[in-house]
Chain A
Amino acid sequence: MKRLNFSEEPRDIWVVAETHAGKLAPLTLELTYGARTMADLMGFYVKVALSGSDVTDLASQLFPVGADRVYVADDPRLAEFAVEPWLKVLSDLFVSQPPEFAMLGATSIGDALAPRLAQRFGAGLISRCVMLKVDDFERAFVGRRAAFGGEYYEVLTTAGAKSHFATVLPDTFGAPYPDASRYGEIESIAVNLDGVVAKIKTIGPVDYALPAPKLKNARRIVSVGRQVGDIDAAKSLATKLGAELAGAREAIDEKYIDESHVVGVTGERVSADLYVALGIRGDTMHTYGMKGARYVVAVHPDPDAPILKQADAAIVGDPAKVAKELIELLN
């Protein structure tokens, strides 16, 4: 474990930036904006570490959303993300500028780097936050993370640690309100990758099919009834959501599903995180099987359909139309 040497109070909140296709990731902008809000409460600075190739020009876009200072590691060897070089750059930076607080996106990059940095520096780390703030009394991060698939949250604190890290999911701080009049400094940092090699070699895309989950264990289900209208729309929605297609008993009559995909007292009892009931009326025979689902969305043209009273989100309308709009919005 390396020791970070806090010679003076750092008073910074750091953001580790990500870029995609020559642009700053929206999440980076959101985190910078979130860091700004926290920094304003604490009287802190917001610093951003921006690594990549040809990224210097992007740095100034971070000022309107809240950055005070952007440290740029611009080097062709950083064009593609790889754990070892990125880790080296950030580690060097953090050794010279010990971060009291640092945020990364809860992305494949953040997931790969944050645990390593935290382990390296003995920092506290709250991963995959859906809410994050600085506890000004403890001078620590306090964050919420989904427990058991999001049914509730665990509140974690990094109190007691010297540095405080977090990875943060999108939409935690909300869309930034840029302030075009804000400005800051850009500092380019020397990249020293002597002896550092990326150890993971990417070979390329492969076809791999995960084992299909049994209906009762499926995490997401799109379930259809007689009133679904257009079964293809429901099927496309299922594909879009990575969901299994199931149905109420009467859906067998319509040949939408076979007997092994019935949800209800005459079929399976499910435990999905998301259950989208399209055109299902929702008598007890069906809802018996649906009870274990965490979040139920129901769409039915008849405002008196019983399922609408039980669903967590109920839409009176044409299920196929809503399904198509959902696919559109999710694209």
Chain B
Amino acid sequence: MKIVVCIKQLLDPRGITVNRKAEKVFVIREEYVLDPASKAALEVAEQIKANAAAIEIIALSVGPARVDEALREALARGADRAIWIRSDSNPDPKVITNLLAAAIKQLGPIDLVLCGDRSLDTGSGEIAARLAEALDWPQILRAAKAEVKGRVLAAIVQHSGFVAVETPLPAVVSIIAEAFSGQHANGGRLMDAYKKWQVETWTTEDLSLSEDDLRTSTIKKEDAFPPARQPGTKVRNAKDLVVMLKQEKIIA
């Protein structure tokens, strides 16, 4: 059985500060990390592997050369194979999906695709459902855990609780970041990931894709900033506070 885990690397949020007044995002420390939701997805893959025989985990990541580091971390977190899908332009979720789907098809029969549900940075949370469309597979979104028993069994977040769902294989499942246990990468595997194992490189030429497939349909224009917060802003009561928190999108 083969499991593909699609992983995302992002700018470490601890390295940036947002200055609303200056309307600027300052990158204090440009460091890239594996998105927690991707770590959660890798962890689920590892758990599935631990409970079954002969499972190959393949990590895929679309991006510039720096995603190599994320892929090596994926190897250290239990992936058996890591493939960098090279993309130097700024792909949108549609193009990322097309690249991933083409790679998944090329990898031969894949039973399960795991993704992070929504990334910490500017995550659209679209990839899993888009992949399900591109592959014409069922999708389970916002899962906290997933098991394979001939089919996929998952616990998904619904309202404030969890609901058990199941679907036949092959399927796409997205895993929420909150499910990540905090487990660290394995040091020995990490060293092997750099010294012994390879990250394969696939380019768009290796994948059968049309020009249309590679054309973005949603692009970022700019950053926008909410009004700078005024420290010491007096609020009269709980009711006004709720309004403010909603305005700040802190509560829904």
Contacts of B125 in A (CB 8 A): 111, 127-128
Q: Of A83, A158, A241, A273, which is in contact with the most chain B CB atoms at under 10 Å from its CB?
A: A83
A209 to B163, CA, bound (A): 12
Of B130, B141, B232, which is within 8 A of A119 by CB?
A: B130
- Residue B89 interfacial (CB < 8 Å): no
B224 near A153 with CB under 8 A, answer: yes
Mask: chain B, 129-147; 1 = CB below 8 Å from A; 0 = not: 1101110001111101100
Contacts of B132 in A (CB 8 A): 116
Mask: chain A, 140-163; 1 = CB below 8 Å from B; 0 = not: 001011111111111111111100
Interface of A is mostly: mixed
Contacts of A142 in B (CB 8 A): 221
Q: Which residues of B contact A (CB under 8 A)?
A: 13-14, 16, 18, 20, 25, 93-94, 97, 120-122, 124-130, 132-134, 138-142, 144-145, 153, 155, 158, 160-168, 171, 178-182, 212-213, 215-226, 229-239, 241-242, 244-246, 248-252
A297 to B233, CA, bound (A): 10
Q: Top 6 nearest A-B pairs by Cβ distance?
A: A325-B238, A199-B138, A115-B129, A115-B126, A203-B164, A161-B217
A155 near B223 with CB under 8 A, answer: yes
Closest CB in chain A relative to B172 CB, distance in Å: 11
- Residue A313 interfacial (CB < 8 Å): yes
Mask: chain A, 174-210; 1 = CB below 8 Å from B; 0 = not: 0000000000000000000000000111111111101
Binds B, one of A29-37, A61-69, A248-256, A303-311: A303-311
A111 near B217 with CB under 8 A, answer: no
A115 near B93 with CB under 8 A, answer: yes
Closest CB in chain A relative to B233 CB, distance in Å: 6
B250 near A295 with CB under 8 A, answer: yes
Contacts of B144 in A (CB 8 A): 208, 210
A147 near B129 with CB under 8 A, answer: no
Contacts of B251 in A (CB 8 A): 241, 274, 330
A-B contact pairs, 25 of them (CB 8 A): A112-B141, A115-B93, A118-B126, A119-B94, A119-B133, A126-B218, A148-B16, A148-B120, A155-B221, A156-B220, A157-B221, A160-B215, A169-B249, A201-B167, A203-B163, A206-B164, A274-B245, A295-B245, A309-B231, A312-B230, A313-B233, A313-B235, A315-B235, A315-B236, A322-B237
> Which residue of B has the minimal Cβ distance to A123?
B217
Q: Of B163, B215, B217, which is in contact with the most chain A CB atoms at under 10 Å from its CB?
A: B217
Mask: chain A, 297-331; 1 = CB below 8 Å from B; 0 = not: 10000000000111111111100001001101110
- Residue A130 interfacial (CB < 8 Å): yes
A144 near B141 with CB under 8 A, answer: no
